[in-house]
Amino acid sequence: MNEQQEKLRHSLSHVLMQALENLYRAVPGVGPAIEEGFYHDFDSKIKITDKDFKKIKKEMKKIITRGFPIEKETMSIEEGMKLLKDKKYSYTLELAEGLKEQGETEITFYRQGDFINMCKGPHLNSTDEINVDAFTLTKIAGAYWKNDENNTMLTRIYGVGFETKEELENYKEMIKEAEKRDHRKLGKELDLFTFSELVGSGLPLFTPKGTLIRDLIIEKIHGLQEDFGYQRVDIPHITKSDLYKTSGHWEKFGDELFKVKGQGDTEFVMKPMNCPHHTQIFASKQTSYRDLPVRYTEATKVYRDEQAGELIGLSRVRSITQDDGHVFCAPDQIEQEIKNIISIIRGFYKSLDMFKEGDYWVSLSVRDPQTPDKYLGEEKLWNEAESILEKIAKDEKLPYKRIEGEAAFYGPKLDFMFKDALGRERQLATAQLDFIMPNRFKLEYTDKDGEKKTPVMIHRAIAGSLERFMAIMIEHFAGAFPFWLSPVQIKIIPIADVHREYAKEIFGELKKRNFRIELDNSDDSFGKKVRKAKTEKIPYFLVIGDKEVEEKKVTVESRDEENLGQMTIENFVEKLEKETK
C-alpha cells in the first residue's frame, strides 16, 4: 500500500463512519486503512446487516460528491476531550484519556462537513478525491472493543477502495476466483479431507485421495533429498517437559503447548516441533568428524493449540504435519549443505512449475541491528553465518532481498516466498542456521585433532506444513494438480456395456505400468461419466467406443489440452513418459 492508497482508504473509512452517523447515529470505534481497503468499528442501537450496505453506500457516495474539504485541526488535549465528551464519542474519549496518561498535551482531529473525530491521518484533501465507482463494502462482523473479549462487542464494516474502477473490478474478479478455488470447497468436492464434530476443529482427517496427495508430496521430497544423504528417523509425538525446558521452547511456546497427563506425576507435552527429539537421536552415539554431516528427515505431526477462532480449513490447524529435516555438521560444511537444500527446493518447486523468475523470491532473513538482545549466540558467528548465506544466495543466483529483523533468535535463514496463481505471496521453503540448540543439548563430535566440538544444526523445510501446503496447492491449481500429483491420473470411460471388456484390458495395461487409474463401470450415461471426470479434474480420460475396440485404440481427452484424438495405448504411454520426464 503506497501513501496515496493509504490516504484514500483512511478517508473512505471516515466517510463510512460519517454515513453511519448520519443514518443510524452510530458511535465510532477505530477505523484504519488496511491491505486493499479499510474498516470502521462502531456502536449502534439499530441492528445493521449486509442488507443495509446499499443504503450505506448511497449515503457514502452523497458525502463523497458533496466534496467536503478534509481538514486537520490540532487542539490541546483538554479541549479535544471536551469535544469528544460533547459528541458522546465515548470510545474515542477513552483513547484520548490514554494519550493524556501517556503525557500527550496535544491531539489532532480531522473534520469533513459535520463529521469530526480524533485522528492522526493522513487523509485526502477533499472527499471528492475519492472515486465513487472504485469502492465497495464487503463484510460485516462483530469486533470486541480493543480486541478484548471482556469489552463491549462493536460492529465492524469492511470495505475495499481503489483509485480506478478497473482495479475494483479486478479485485472483485480475484475474490470470485479465490472463492471458486477455496480449498475447503474444493477439498470436499474432490473428496480430499474431512472434519468430524466428534474429533474436533483444527484436526483434519485425510481420505484416501487426500492421503495419496500427502504421500506423493512426501515421496517427491524424499526422492530428491535421498541423493544428498538424508535418512528417515521416527520419533514419538509426546515427551517429558524436560526436553523443552532444556531446549528453551517451554517458555517460548507457552499456551500453545498441549499438556499431556497420564496416571503418574510425569509432566508430558505434545511436541510442537521435532528438533529437540532429533537431537536425542544424534546424541545416542559417539560421532566422529568422519560421520558428519548427519542428516535426519521425517514427515511427522506436531501439535499446537491454536485458538479455535483462528482455525481455517487446512490453512490453520492444530495437527500440523511437518516435512522436517535437520542437518548436524561442522562449520566448514554449512555452505555445501545449504546449497544441497536449495537444490532440493529447486527440484521440488520446478516439479510444480512454481520455480519461475518473477514468481518467487528469497528473504535473506538477518538480525535487526536495532535489537541485538533479541538474538542468542556470538556476534562473530552471526556475522559469519549471515555472510555465508548471502554468498550462497549470490552463488546460486537467487533473487534475494536482505530483510532485517526476520532472523530466528537462534540464527539467520533463507526463506523462500512463492506467488500462487492469484498472485498471493506464500512463505513455503526455509533453511535456517542454528548455533544455539546443539549447545543447549551439549551435542558433540570428535574432530580430526581429537578435540570434542559442537556441531552446527541446520533446520530445513521444503513444503513446510503439509496441511497448509495442500491448502495452497489446491487453490493454486484450482484442484487440477500436475500429472504426478493427481490422485487419479487417468480415467477410462466405456461408452456402453459392450465396451467394458476392452476397457478392462486397457485398465490392466496401464495398471501394469503403475499409473493411477480408475475405470468408470457405473450405469451412468456417457455424458454424465464425462462430466464427472471433468469435475474430478483428472488429467486424462480415455473414451472407449465401437471404433476404439475395432481399431485397438483409445480416444484421449486431456484436461489441459482438450481432445488429443485416437492413438494406440503404446503411443499414449510414450506421450505420458515423455511428459513426466
Residues between 312 and 371 that touch its own copies (CB under 8 A): 318-319
Query: Between vectors from CA 493 to CA 488 and to CA 494, what angle results, nearest 5°?
Result: 150
What cell does 188 get?
Answer: 470436499
Binder to its own copies among 108, 152, 383, 522 (CB under 8 A)? 522
Sign (positive or negative) of CA dihedral 116, 119, 125, 130: negative
Long-range interactions of 531-538: CB distance < 8 A, separation 24+? 533/491, 533/493, 533/557, 534/559, 535/189, 536/190, 536/488, 536/491, 537/190, 537/478, 537/479, 537/480, 537/481, 537/486, 538/486, 538/488, 538/489, 538/490, 538/491
120 is catalytic: no
CB environment 356-381: b (16+ within 10 A), e (fewer): eeebbbbbbbbbeeeeeeebbbeeee
Q: On the CB side of 258, how many CA atoms lie within 13 Å of its CA?
A: 17
Closer to its own copies by Cβ: residue 111 or 440: 440
How would you class 255 by CB atoms within 10 Å of its CB: exposed for 0-12, middle for 13-18, buried for 19 or more?
exposed
- Complex with its own copies: residue 296 or 481, whichever CB lies closer: 296
Q: How far is residue 255's CA from residue 305's CA, in Å, rounded to a whole number?
A: 7
Q: Contacting its own copies (CB under 8 A), which of 5, 22, 136, 211? A: 211
- Which residue(s) pair with 518 in the sheet? 491
Closest approach, Cβ 232 to its own copies, in A, equals: 5
Neighbours of 215 (CB within 10 A): 14
* C-beta closer to its own copies: residue 80 or 494: 494
In this structure, are residues 493 and 499 in contact, taking their beta carbons and an 8 Å threshold?
no
Contact call for residue 500 and its own copies (CB under 8 A): no
Q: How far is the CB of 514 from its own copies (least distance, A)?
A: 11
Range 219-248, binding its own copies (CB under 8 A) = 231-240, 242-243, 246
C-alpha cell at 408: 530466528
Whether residue 442 lies in the annotated active site:
no
List 77, 95, 281, 388, residue binding its own copies (CB under 8 A): 281
Active site residue 326: yes
Which residue lies nearer to its own copies by CB, 153 or 203? Answer: 203
Interface region with its own copies, contact rule CB under 8 A, candidates 9-17, 171-179, 195-203, 404-412: 195-203
Please say which residue, 172 or 513, places its beta carbon nearer to its own copies: 513
Q: Which is nearer to its own copies, 84 or 221 (CB)?
A: 221
Using the rule CB under 8 A, is 303 a contact of its own copies?
Answer: yes
Q: Are 416 and 393 in contact (CB under 8 A)?
A: no
Residue 322 known to be catalytic:
yes
User: What is the dihedral angle through the alpha carbons of 288, 291, 297, 301, rounded to the nearest 10 degrees?
Assistant: -20
The reply to whether 146 belongs to the active site is no
Min separation Cβ 184 and its own copies, Å:
14
By CB under 8 A, is residue 498 in contact with its own copies?
A: no
Residue 448 binds to its own copies (criterion: CB under 8 A): no
Residue from 1, 308, 496, 498 that binds its own copies (CB under 8 A)? 308
Tell me: does residue 204 bind its own copies (CB under 8 A): yes
**Interface positions, 244-273, toward its own copies (CB under 8 A):** 246, 255-256, 258-264, 266, 268, 270
* Contact footprint for its own copies (CB under 8 A): 191, 194, 196-200, 203-208, 210-212, 214-215, 231-240, 242-243, 246, 255-256, 258-264, 266, 268, 270, 276-277, 280-281, 283-285, 290, 296, 301, 303, 305, 307-308, 318-319, 522
Catalytic residue positions, numbered:
275, 304, 322, 324, 326, 413, 459
